[in-house]
Structure 1
Amino acid sequence: MGELRRPFLLLALLAVALVVGLELGAALLTGGGDAGGALRDSAGQLGVELDDVGRVAQPSGRGTGHLALIDVVALWTTGLFCLSLVVPERVQGRVQGAATLVFSIVLLIVSVVLLIVAFVELTVMVSLFLAAPFGTLAYLVVWGFFPVGDAGVLLGLVLLLKLVWAGLLLLAQPRFVQNKGLVLLALTTLLCTVVLEFLHRLVPVILVSITDDLGALVFAVVAVVWALVLLIGSIPAIVKAVKA
């Protein structure tokens, strides 16, 4: 493939690591704001008068966090590229297949579990929202006031870092563009980020938690697909290592 430019490759690893870190920390970086006033207004529109609603916090959502299920594949792939800088090719060939097999199995299990959790939560959300007025109020208390602005800022930063990651990979080795799997992975993660932002802007704010959870559900499915791709792709490398 040609010589890798180490500084750009290491910077690409840093960029995608920041992406995964931001996505995993989304629950801490977004949500938590006071939504009591908005809840009283919404309750009034439903014909229910609320005197003291106490502390009602904005939800953080699952969508951004579930993006990490996909981006951890990008992190893993970039890490393997970096590993080739310090590990002899023969040794890497023997270790990479087994390590990727373990990684893909773990990713598959985690993705399936989070897929089930997102599906159950989405079902509860929709059921409560449609059970007016008190079910709807219960929905509003827990999920009704998604921090669209904060999530948009975070997703914008994540998208920028992903573009930086892709650009740095090309600077590290222009022939990476010939790697169809890597290109497909980059397009997948960029598209999913844009789709999540679109889902956040598609509906009124009281419904954003539902579309956000729908996005999380889709991302978990995408992660399952990528986990299976890695799992299947690791088998030839393992067989080759065993025969060597």
Structure 2
Amino acid sequence: MGELRKPFLLLALLAVALVVGVELGSSLLTGGGDAGGSLRASAQDLGVDVGEVGRVDEPSGRGTGYLALIDVVALWTTGLFCLSLVVPDRIQGRVQGVATLVFSIVLILVSLLMLVLAFVELSIMVSLFLAAPFGTLAYLALWGFFPVGEASLLLGLVLLLKLVWVVLLLLAQPRFLQNKGLVLLALTTLLCTVLLEFLHNLVPVVVVSILDDVGALVFAVVAIVWGLVLLIGSIPAIVKAVRVTAALPTR
């Protein structure tokens, strides 16, 4: 693939690591604001007296955090590129296949678990929202006031960091464009980020949490697909490593 420009590649690794870090910490960076006033106003619109309402926290949502399931694949791939800078090709070839196999299995299992969690939560959301008026009020108290503005700022930062990651990879080695898997991965993560922002602004704020969970489900499925791609792709590398090891002379 030619000589890599090491500083740009290392900066690309830092950029995608920041992406994953921000996404994993999204629950701490968004939500938590008091939505009690909004709940009282919505209850009055429904003609229901809820009396005194204490503090009702805005939900942080799942969508942004679930993006990390996809972006951890980008982090893993970039990390393997960086590993080639310090590990001889002979050793990396033997280890990379097994490591990728283990990583893909863990990714698939975690994504399946999170897929189930998001599906269960989405089912509860929809059931409560349709059970007017008291079920709807319970939904509003738990998920009805999504922090769209905060989430939008966070997604903007994530999207910017992903674009920086892509640019830095190209600066490190323009021939990365010939790597179809890497290009598809970059397009996948960029499109998923834009999709989540679109979902957050598609409907009134009281039902944004539902679409945010839909986005989370989509991202978990996409992560499972990428996990399968990595798993299948690791098998030839493992077979090759085994053959090379078997062909080595024994003492």
TM-score range, shorter chain: over 0.9
Cα shift readout 1:131-165 (whole Å, capped 9, x = no counterpart): 00000000000000000000000000000000000
- Counterparts of residues 55-94 of structure 1 (less than 5 Å): 55-94=55-94
Q: 1:222: how far off?
A: 0.1
- Counterparts of residues 173-184 of structure 1 (less than 5 Å): 173-184=173-184
Q: 1:111: how far off?
A: 0.2
CA distance in 2: counterparts of 1:69 and 1:119, whole angstroms? 16
Q: CA RMSD in A?
A: 0.4
CA distance in 1: counterparts of 2:87 and 2:52, whole angstroms? 63
Q: Secondary structure at the match of 1:32?
A: coil
Cα shift readout 1:103-137 (whole Å, capped 9, x = no counterpart): 00000000000001111110110000000000000
Q: 1:166: how far off?
A: 0.2
Q: 1:52: how far off?
A: 1.2
One-letter code aligned to 1:159? L
Q: Is the deviation greater in 82-91 or in 44-53?
A: 44-53
Q: 1:55: how far off?
A: 1.1
Give the 4+ runs in structure 1 shifted more than 3 A.
none
- Counterparts of residues 101-112 of structure 1 (less than 5 Å): 101-112=101-112
CA distance in 2: counterparts of 1:240 and 1:52, whole angstroms? 69
CA distance in 2: counterparts of 1:14 and 1:63, whole angstroms? 23
Q: Secondary structure at the match of 1:202?
A: coil
2:17 alignment counterpart: 17
Q: 1:49: how far off?
A: 1.4
CA distance in 2: counterparts of 1:229 and 1:46, whole angstroms? 49
Question: Max radius of gyration: which structure?
Answer: 2
2:32 alignment counterpart: 32
One-letter code aligned to 1:191? L
CA distance in 2: counterparts of 1:51 and 1:136, whole angstroms? 16
One-letter code aligned to 1:111? S
How many pairs were matched up? Answer: 244
Q: Secondary structure at the match of 2:201?
A: helix
CA distance in 2: counterparts of 1:142 and 1:130, whole angstroms? 14
One-letter code aligned to 2:87? V
Percent of residue pairs identical: 82
CA distance in 1: counterparts of 2:210 and 2:50, whole angstroms? 24
CA distance in 1: counterparts of 2:153 and 2:132, whole angstroms? 33
One-letter code aligned to 2:94? R
Cα shift readout 1:75-130 (whole Å, capped 9, x = no counterpart): 00000000000000010000000000000000000000000111111011000000
2:248 alignment counterpart: none
Structure 2 gap ranges (5+): 245-251
CA distance in 2: counterparts of 1:53 and 1:176, whole angstroms? 56
Q: Secondary structure at the match of 1:214?
A: helix
One-letter code aligned to 1:187? L
One-letter code aligned to 1:100? T
Q: 1:50: how far off?
A: 2.2
TM-score (norm 1): 1.00
CA distance in 2: counterparts of 1:46 and 1:110, whole angstroms? 40
One-letter code aligned to 2:5? R
